Amino acid sequence: MEQMTNYSPDSFRRYRWKELSLFIIPFLLLLLEMTQLLLLTKFNPDPASAPDLRKFPIIQGLTPILGLLAVLLVVHIVLNIFFRKADQFLLPLVGLLSGLGVLMATRLGPPVGDLNLGNKQLIWVILGLVICLATIFLLRNIHWLARYKYTAALFGVILLCTTLVNALRSNLNTPTHDQLNVGSFAFQPSELLKICIVIFFAAYLSENRDVLAEGGMQIGSLRLPPLRQLGPLALMLFISLMLFLVVRELGLALLIYGIFVSMIYLGTNKLAYVLVSVGIAVLLGIVGFKILPPYAQKRFEVVNIDVVNWTAGSENTYGANMGGFQVVQGLIAISSGGILGAGFGLGHPGYVPVVQSDMVLTALAEEFGLIGLFALMGIYLFILYRGFRIAIEATDTFSQLLAAGLTSIFAIQTLIISAGNLKIMPLTGIPLPFLSYGGSSIIGNFIIIGILLRISYNTALERDGMG
């Protein structure tokens, strides 16, 4: 059992003051925006600017944010008692993003017809924080994951097969065919699948790092790894990409392939492997486009739509079934926000379909402006910095690769969905970490945070000679 820290005269000095002080800005920001939203519902001088909020109950505005702040303080106290040496930056950063997610769900509830959307998101965040703490407590030895790498791979395959069976029974021309419905609860196996893939890659690469880095087969000027070491990685990638071929989910395929390329580079430090992998991805993309369902092909066409110089072709793509309506409405919302934004609660996010999940970035950009959008990207960059910092400071190869791989998930997901909202890439159903509404995404992300905090704690103990 984890040894508790004994309080002594210097306990006050060793308190996690840095983490507590970093909570001040997020807490003040969330309380300020919550107050603004409540004042807007009761004293808005121009009700026409926010018609969906006029009948917004006060309790629906108070409960989510106040509840989240209380839970974050409890988690902070638990970390201070049991894991004082864990990273002190991650929880405030993730708490701020989760708070923005709850805040946006609260604000977007009326436009999407669900006044309890903020409370629902709060429940998922609380559950995610509980699972995060459970992950830290249970993973006393992080190398336990390495010993069971094939079990993690098998669990990922089971998730894959379950998804495949469900997809074959569903309509592949809908964007939600990769979900498993258990009663009223919709679960996306991909949120756990991506973690299983990183665990397997990190363990396998740490065991075969030298062989993979040196290479074996010679093809021209390129030296590829031996088939014995490359085979399991290629097999795991092939099995995972079956989701793309059978389930035909573009976003998940991009995420899995991005994880594979990142882990190969992190494990071998060879840019040639990355270039070859990207080349293969281009070829697979050309072939895969032909087998994509119509709704996915339409999303590729949307990337080429000319929103500024509207043409007949733009009109056809915009008005087509599952065409460019969602993306164009999102671009209009972003542009209407300008630099400073329309103000929280004063935008019109209800005009954007599925704004609470796929397009939440456009709602935030409309009401907080370009400044808010840059600030959001800055928060994600800080999380990536802390994640990679934890990886660099880790004392063993497996922990380094695991922390770096899990951090890469946040980077790849944020890139894919942000580029989709901005019409740089085809729009996919990949959630924006901690901000998009959805339970399985929140839980999966907090499992990642729990593993990162555990790695940072173990590293600190080892460096202090207590491991």
- 450-462 pLDDT, tens digit each: 999 999 999 999 9
**Would you state the pLDDT for residue 451?**
97
3-state helix, strand, coil split of the chain in percent (to 5) is 70, 5, 25
Closest CA to 250 of 101, 377, 358: 358
**Would you state the pLDDT for residue 4?**
45
d(CA 194, CA 186): 18
Structure tokens at 91: 């929880």
**Would you state the pLDDT for residue 286?**
72
Q: What percent of the chain has pLDDT over 70?
A: 76
**Has residue 362 got a pLDDT over 60?**
yes
Structure tokens at 301: 């066409």
211's enclosing H/E stretch is helix 209-214
Residues 6 or more apart from 213 whose CB is under 8 A from it? 267, 268, 269, 270
d(CA 248, CA 256): 13
Average pLDDT over residues 162-190: 62
Query: Which residue type is seen at 455?
Result: I
Neighbours of 153 (CB within 10 A): 22
Taking every pair of Cα atoms in the chain, the longest distance, rounded to a whole number of angstroms, is 75
d(CA 128, CA 94): 11
**Would you state the pLDDT for residue 208?**
79
Q: Give DSSP secondary structure letters for 254-319.
A: HHHHHHHHHHHHHHH--HHHHHHHHHHHHHHHHHHHHHS-HHHHHHHHHHT--SSS--HHHHHHHH
Q: Which residue has the higher pLDDT, 176 or 360?
A: 360
Average pLDDT over residues 325-331: 89
**Has residue 58 got a pLDDT over 60?**
no
Distances, alpha carbon 359 to alpha carbons 59, 317, 455, in Å: 26, 19, 33
| Range from 80-89, 206-215, 299-308, 427-436 that averages highest in pLDDT | 80-89
Q: Are 427 and 302 in contact (CB under 8 A)?
A: yes
Q: Which residue has the higher pLDDT, 167 or 374?
A: 374
**Has residue 297 got a pLDDT over 80?**
no
Distances, alpha carbon 153 to alpha carbons 148, 204, 392, 417, 436, in Å: 9, 11, 25, 26, 27
**Would you state the pLDDT for residue 118?**
86
What global pTM score does this model have? 0.89
The pLDDT tens digits of the residues spanning 382-408 come to: 999 999 999 999 999 999 999 999 999
Structure-token match 């108070």, residue found: 62
**Has residue 248 got a pLDDT over 60?**
yes
Query: Could you tell me the residue ranges of all domains in the chain?
Result: 11-138
**Has residue 183 got a pLDDT over 60?**
no
Q: Give DSSP secondary structure letters for 103-160.
A: HHHHHHHHHHT-TTHHHHHHHHHHHHHHHHHHHHHH-SSTHHHHHTHHHHHHHHHHHH
pLDDT-derived band at 314, boundaries 50, 70, 90: confident
The total number of residues written for the chain in this structure:
467
d(CA 361, CA 273): 33
Mean pLDDT estimate for the chain? 82
Range name among 35-44, 52-61, 307-316 with the lowest pLDDT average: 52-61
d(CA 222, CA 228): 18
The pLDDT tens digits of the residues spanning 119-141 come to: 899 999 999 999 999 999 999 88
**Has residue 218 got a pLDDT over 50?**
yes
pLDDT-derived band at 416, boundaries 50, 70, 90: very high
**Would you state the pLDDT for residue 275?**
81
Average pLDDT over residues 319-335: 84
**Would you state the pLDDT for residue 304?**
80
**Would you state the pLDDT for residue 162?**
74
**Has residue 217 got a pLDDT over 70?**
no
